[in-house]
Amino acid sequence: MTTTIGLEIHVQLATQTKMFCGCSTAFGDEPNTHVCPVCLGLPGALPTLNAQAVRLATRIATALGCTVHEVSEFSRKNYFYPDLPKSYQITQFDRPIATGGSLPIVTERGARSVRLTRAHIEEDAGKSMHAADITLGGETLVDFNRCGMPLIEIVTEPDMQSGDEAYEFLRNLRRLVRWLGVSSGDMEKGAMRCDVNVSVSPDPAKRGTKVEIKNLNSFRSVKRAIDYEEQRQAQCLTDCTPIMTETRHFDEVQGTTTSMRSKEASNDYRYFPEPDLPLLQLDPTELESVRTQMPELPWEVQSRFERDLGLSPYDAALLTEERSTAEFFQQTIALYDNPKKVASYMGTEVARLLNERGKTLTETQLTPVALAGLLTMVEDNAISNTASKDVLPLLVDTGTTPMEAVRSLGLEQVSDTSALEGFAREVIAENTTQVDQFRNGKEAVLAFLVGQLMKKSKGKANPKLAGDTLRRLLK
């Protein structure tokens, strides 16, 4: 069986106002408070195009290698649904803002690019909240705050063959939109949603019947929906059961898809040019400016980190998940020239604290200067690596310097020979059995004795000097 997968991804553009009106795009406010005659579709209200949305759409399309067209056109897509007050959506049909392009992914099949069909800008519908299973009916509430939100819809070619590949595509797309500041990419808040088209065929040379799964809002849901639908269609083919061209709903709890409706064709939507908006004409000079000012893209930075700095693919990918993280890392290694150590510390200790606090790096007080200073103190044996983990939270939360944090916590490392000798003699006197084992050639016992010394010093002793002192006294 051969599986063919294509994606349609709706990315909410990071503007302050909606696509065709001045209503706020703020998330999480009281329902139906960010509305006006335009986004409610009241008679006589006319749309005004959001210029910032066009700029952001142009930016992401350029980064994806699309052909950005200087002239494009808005159309009306006519259909009735409770969360669409105008009974049509302003979108782009046969003259989108961009066509072509691709996005690189790395999977078990190796590194390759997934081709794109097109990218077009449009407005979002409202949000329907169903009190019962959507397929069983029941009470539905509608929030029109989302109605009119600016979107770019990115449509792929059917180039993927598994849920894992679709997962990787979405992960890399979200990394890109965040990198460019085009969108938050926050699927939990609806800033990125995905429709999946899946077909399974017994003949690798032919595609099967395409089935659409609507409005998946997490990477995990996309993968689970594809995996289930792939198995369902394969079983239908085995049982000689017809596969219908339809739209299906994914049940998050059951992990299954159920039929919603037959799939519409483009003529069902009765597209025609939007009469209230002129053709969208882009300035060639501005388009060229977008191209020349495009930053190094995340996969390009990742490749450079691996090639020039010797980082592992895992560390390099982690550091390039967010543009601010990559910039922080580069500023830190300019001050502390040990890329692998910085990458390791950021990927473990710093990442752990960020996860605990539910913050991004830019939302903390930690600076590249502070992190470089902390790692330098560890390298100079001013504090132990263990003690640095106690210092780091102060740097993250308060912005204090490493030296001030160390002093406030009383964590200055003990390197004074006489003090270490005092601790060492106590350890030797209290652990005669292990001392005899060491003197009889059991070298590994020294680590135990060093650990006992570290306890006595409350973690302040320099571990290397502690070991050297014990070894000298045990001769």
- Domain coordinates in residue numbering, the chain: 2-286, 296-409, 417-474
What's the topology of domain 417-474? Arc Repressor Mutant, subunit A (1.10.10)
What is the band of 137 on the pLDDT scale with cuts at 50, 70, 90? Answer: low
pLDDT of residue 266: 67
Average pLDDT over residues 355-362: 90
- Which is more confident, 134 or 398? 398
pLDDT of residue 129: 80
Average pLDDT over residues 189-211: 89
pLDDT of residue 133: 60
The kind and range of the H/E element at 177 are: helix 163-179
Measured between its terminal Cα atoms, the distance across the chain in Å is 72
pLDDT of residue 339: 96
pLDDT of residue 461: 78
Whether pLDDT at 368 is above 80: yes
pLDDT of residue 193: 92
pLDDT tens column, 93-105: 999 999 999 999 9
The one-letter amino acid at 138 = G
176-180, 271-275, 461-465: the lowest-pLDDT one = 461-465
pLDDT of residue 397: 92
- Which is more confident, 37 or 189? 37
pLDDT of residue 136: 58
Strand, helix or coil for residue 317:
helix
What is the band of 153 on the pLDDT scale with cuts at 50, 70, 90? Answer: very high
Whether pLDDT at 149 is above 90: yes
Whether pLDDT at 64 is above 60: yes
* Residue tagged 């990477």 (tokens): 219
Whether pLDDT at 248 is above 80: yes
Whether pLDDT at 132 is above 70: no
Going by DSSP bridges, is the β-strand pair 150-156/110-123 parallel, antiparallel, or unpaired? antiparallel
Average pLDDT over residues 417-439: 88
pLDDT of residue 208: 86
Mean pLDDT of the chain: 90
Burial (Cβ within 10 Å: 0-12, 13-18, ≥19) of residue 316: buried
pLDDT of residue 205: 81
Average pLDDT over residues 351-365: 92
